[in-house]
Structures are given as structure tokens and as C-alpha cells.
A and B are shown apart, each in its own frame.
Chain A
Amino acid sequence: MPITKTDAVPVRTEHDIVLARQQVRKLTQELAFGLVDQTKMVTAASELARNAVIYGGGGTMRWEVLADGARRGLRLHFVDEGPGIPDLAQALTDGWTSGSGMGLGLSGAKRLVNEFELDSAPGRGTRVTVTRWK
């Protein structure tokens, strides 16, 4: 998949969560996403960035602007080196949380994007990749 533009930003602090969603907002605007699609992608990014900060002990968000023929999209990789997730199916269940959240982060973010990949294991950290096409 041709990547026309890419960069990475840190997601280590609460303030980084705000910056990450502002970055995603800017990219979705550049891609001329509709307002609802922009909002969905920004919200998904906010959930995943917060997960990386709270559960992953901080990480990075790498973004990629994709061109697939005439189709354009935005892909985000959230990578942390935290404790990892022992049970991926459980982690994707609505309402399940290992912390004090509502347990909507992963499952909710998944519903807000077109493609969703979760790769994690205990001791190996967590990588979540989401893509939304225009």
C-alpha cells in the first residue's frame, strides 16, 4: 500500500493525547474527510492514545496517509511497550476493563474505523492499527 506521508508523535502524557487527536484532526481535514468521519477517527485516536498512556505506560502514534489507487485513507499505529494484553478477545469486549475506565476504548475504537488490528501478548507490549478510508 503506497504511503504518501508519514510521521510519528509521542503519546506519553495526558497532554500528548490532546496533541495526538489534534494531529489526527488536521490529517483528516487535509484528506477532506467528511465531518462525521473526521470525528470518528479523532475519537478513535483519543481512545487508543489514552490506552497507550494509561495501560501501556506511554508509546507512540505513527500515522500514514495512504493512497490505494484513487482511494485515500489514514492509518494510525499505536505502539507501546507496556505489560501487553493476555486475553485479546476479552479486551475487545464492551465493558471489560483492567483499570478504572468504562471498557469502551478498544471495542469502541474498533467500531469507529474501517480496519482494526490488535497485536499484543504479555511482556511484548501492544500494537493497535486502525485505518479509515475516505
Chain B
Amino acid sequence: MDRIPILRMGDFLLVTIQVDMHDQLALTLQDDLTAAIQRTGAKGVLIDISALEMVDSFIGRMIANISRMARILDARTVVVGMRPAVAITLVELGLSLAGVDTALDVERGMRRLRDALDEAGVASADHED
């Protein structure tokens, strides 16, 4: 069965969606990613959707689900690279992706994850004092 690869980069997991996903592939990614967070203890997930030419309600829901599930598993998700035409279409479709953190590109997304990790580190250090 085909799968979308999940790469580990230090404290983060990196997923680049490069194919036009059928529904089962999207569901498999959801399962694989939550399992990978649990296995690696990753603190952040970066999902690059810059190759996606469309996001319909099914894929949108998958993205929102991953973000919420990761949150519960103590990892933060940033979705990067959404094409403007996809963003316009998503809003008209009625999907706001509420609660999903986004950034324009991979670099900004990684910075967001690192900043969040640093803040969390500072907060827990304060707490220990």
C-alpha cells in the first residue's frame, strides 16, 4: 500500500504531500503521523502542502484532525505552503481550518515550531524555579 513518508528532524516531524491523495491515503497519513508522534516524542509537526493543487472538505478535515490529535499528544502542527487559489477555494467551500496553525513556507513554519519549543522550554524552566 502506498504511504506518505514522514521524516524526522530532531524534535520535529516533516511531511511533504506530493501526490493527489485518495481518501484512504489521507486517513493512513493521519494514523501514521499520530503513531510517529507517540513513538518519537516529537514536539512539532510540519506539513508541507505546497504541491497540493486542491484541498476539498475531506482533505481539509484530515488536516484539521491531525492538528487536533497532535495537540492532544503534546505536539504542535504547522501547515505550510498553501497555494493562494487553494486558500480562496477553501474559504468559499466553507472550511475555515479553525485552530490550524499555518505559515507561508517551510522556513517560516520551522521557525514557528522552534519558537514554540523555546517558549515551552522557558515556561517550564520558570516553573521549576
Measuring CB to CB, which residues of chain A are less than 8 angstroms from any residue of chain B?
Answer: 14-15, 17-18, 21-22, 25, 35-36, 38-40, 42-43, 46-47, 50, 94, 101-102, 104-105, 107-109, 111-112
Contact = CB atoms under 8 A, between A and B. Distances in A.
A99 B35 CA distance: 27
B20 A39 contact: no
B93 A38 contact: no
The secondary-structure label for the interface of chain B is helix
A42 B22 contact: no
Contact of B88 (A17, A18, A36, A108): A36
B58 A39 contact: no
The secondary-structure label for the interface of chain A is helix
B92 A15 contact: no
B89 A40 contact: yes
A108 B95 contact: yes
A112 B89 CA distance: 7
Contact of B93 (A14, A15, A18, A111): A111
Nearest to B93: A108
Given A17-B23, A47-B57, A36 B95 contact: no
